[in-house]
Amino acid sequence: MQRLPSNMAAQRRNLMQSHQSWTDDLPLCQMCGVGTAPNCVYSPDGKGTQSHPNEDGHLRFRGEDGCFLYGVFNGYDGSRVASFASQCLTAELLLGQLTSNHTDGDVRRILTQAFDAVEKSYFETIGDALAEKAHLSNYVLPHNENVSFHQLSSQSQKVQERLKELEQEVSGGATAVVALILNNKLYIANVGTNRALLCKSSSDGQNQVLQIGRPHSTDNEDELQRLATLGVDSARVRQAGQIAGQSSTRRLGDYRVKFNYSEIDLLSPAKTRPVVAEPEIHGSQSLDGVTGFLLLMSEGLINALESAHGPEQANQEIVAMVAAELAQQNSLEAVAQSVVERVKRLHHDVYVSGRQRSTYCSRHEDMTLLIRTLNMPLADGALTPTQGGRIYPVSVPYSNSQSTSKTSVTLSLVMPSQSTLTNGTNTASTLEEGTPTPGQSPTATLQSTNTQTQSSSSSSGDGSLFRQRGSQAAQPDETGRVPPYVDFSQFYRLWGSDHSDGQSTQGGLGPQ
């Protein structure tokens, strides 16, 4: 590893410790919103407690030449790496490095170099601490007859305390998913287990949900093959499910798996560094004429939703929630926060329900959701039912991997539109008569695709049970009652004709 001049390393270390930003002068992007929620551990009575400070990070900047940069960082064992990466990566990409003249190949190369620079710069900031830690780890107290046992014990205790301080200073890492928009083309750079989803409306009126890339985890076949070529037993990695406490096979920081991997039993056979910070880059995808939104999610948000409802419909569910909130909120910040809070409530409700999946929901990690809209206007404001809005049920399926039965939780959504949205080609509908598509008449089909698999879902709900309400609230009569929203006259007439058998009904059906 090349060492930067000591004064530069010291400046970066002091900057990180002072919590100053290198990118304060860059304008924030106003076309995105971010929602967050801290980690939580539930007690048996369902009350939640935060076990550590929030370790996630994010970035959302607008550069020059129509360049936009977004990122979500999932930190662990502290927020140092996530915080450093969000600042340093911005400085490596938006301070003149990218221009509209760059080709796709140039952009890929610059993105890869930026991640490499972030990794090296971070290790420069902790270089002195790592050197001191290595020195103290080999520290042997000199034998001196004039030094008492008590003095030796005291010195040894001080060494141990200092080693503990240094470990806290240098430990930790982060995974990252970064989105770059340049020349109206989308590039996704991923390191680790966060997720990027692109929801766009196609020309035939369908909404397609695309998961861009796969997580770099211990069940990713490509990653297992990469580790195997380095001499690592991929079967053991798959069985363990984690590498040094994390499921990611690529990550930023984490000196243990970068410098001391030979001391980790699972990684010790590796010929070279097995856990890397090299991003997998997907792009370029043209956004010309695209209407929809881009989602960047931390691993904690994904895991919370999948723990509660299973992994089969996680992408559709999160898109349904975002679409529902976009249709009734006029602030992207409020949309993102509302979705995160909804996932948090779903996770908690499954835990306290005592259902079979509750065993997976005893805790969740920090959650971050970044939403970037694409040529899509926000709602003018929420319409209540008495203001002419219409209620649509948004079905959030609950599935149990150990059972074939499925149930659903129905959430009410107030919408000014009257159309419906169905889900998927050759699949059942998660959102049947469900969430309308923001910014257009929601008669489209939500089609969920993945780079590897397609998922299935369950059906529920029928928005046709509700008829449109007037623009003004119905006034109560002299008894204080208002007319019903649903007209059952036809039902009463049909029921009476089917059951009369030539006899009059006892008292008749219908309101008396």
User: 326, 330, 317: which is closest to 411 by C-alpha?
Assistant: 317
Q: Are 388 and 470 in contact (CB under 8 A)?
A: yes
In this prediction the pTM is 0.72
Kindly list the distances between the CA atom of residue 71 and the CA atoms of 34, 125, 380, 471, in Å, as whole numbers in the listed order: 10, 22, 28, 42
Task: Provide the pLDDT for residue 68.
Answer: 96
Task: Provide the pLDDT for residue 478.
Answer: 60
List phi, psi (to 5°) of 405: -80, 150
Strand pairing class (422-423; 445-450) = parallel
With H, G, I as helix, E, B as strand and everything else as coil, classify residue 436: coil
Return left, alpha or beta for 82; rule: phi > 0 is left, psi -120 to 50 is alpha, else beta. alpha
Task: Provide the pLDDT for residue 152.
Answer: 60
Separation between Cα atoms, residue 499 and residue 490, nearest integer Å: 14
Task: Provide the pLDDT for residue 400.
Answer: 34
What would the DSSP string read from start to end of 443-476? --EEEEEESS----------GGGSPPPPSSPPPP
Helices marked H in 298-404 — which ranges?
Answer: 299-309, 314-326, 332-353
Task: Provide the pLDDT for residue 160.
Answer: 86
With H, G, I as helix, E, B as strand and everything else as coil, classify residue 301: helix
Task: Provide the pLDDT for residue 480.
Answer: 60
**Would you give the distance in Å from CA 458 to the centre of its chain?**
23
Q: Are 359 and 296 in contact (CB under 8 A)?
A: no
Separation between Cα atoms, residue 402 and residue 454, nearest integer Å: 20
Q: Are 307 and 357 in contact (CB under 8 A)?
A: yes
Helices marked H in 45-103 — which ranges?
Answer: 80-93
List phi, psi (to 5°) of 410: -100, 125
H helix count then E strand count, the chain = 12, 18
Separation between Cα atoms, residue 485 and residue 386, nearest integer Å: 11
List phi, psi (to 5°) of 35: -120, 145
pLDDT in tens, the chain (512 residues): 444 444 544 554 454 444 455 666 789 999 999 999 999 999 999 999 999 999 999 999 998 888 999 999 999 999 999 999 999 999 999 988 998 999 999 999 999 999 999 999 999 999 999 998 888 887 655 555 555 556 667 778 888 888 888 888 889 999 999 999 999 999 999 999 999 999 987 666 567 899 999 999 999 999 999 999 999 999 999 999 999 999 999 999 999 999 999 999 999 999 999 999 999 999 888 999 899 999 999 999 999 999 999 998 899 999 999 999 998 988 999 999 999 999 999 999 999 998 889 999 999 999 999 999 998 877 765 444 433 333 333 333 333 333 333 333 333 333 333 333 333 333 333 333 333 333 333 333 344 444 443 333 333 333 333 334 444 455 666 656 666 656 666 767 776 776 665 544 444 444 44
- Of the CA atoms within 13 Å of residue 155, those in its CB half-sphere come to 12
Task: Provide the pLDDT for residue 257.
Answer: 94
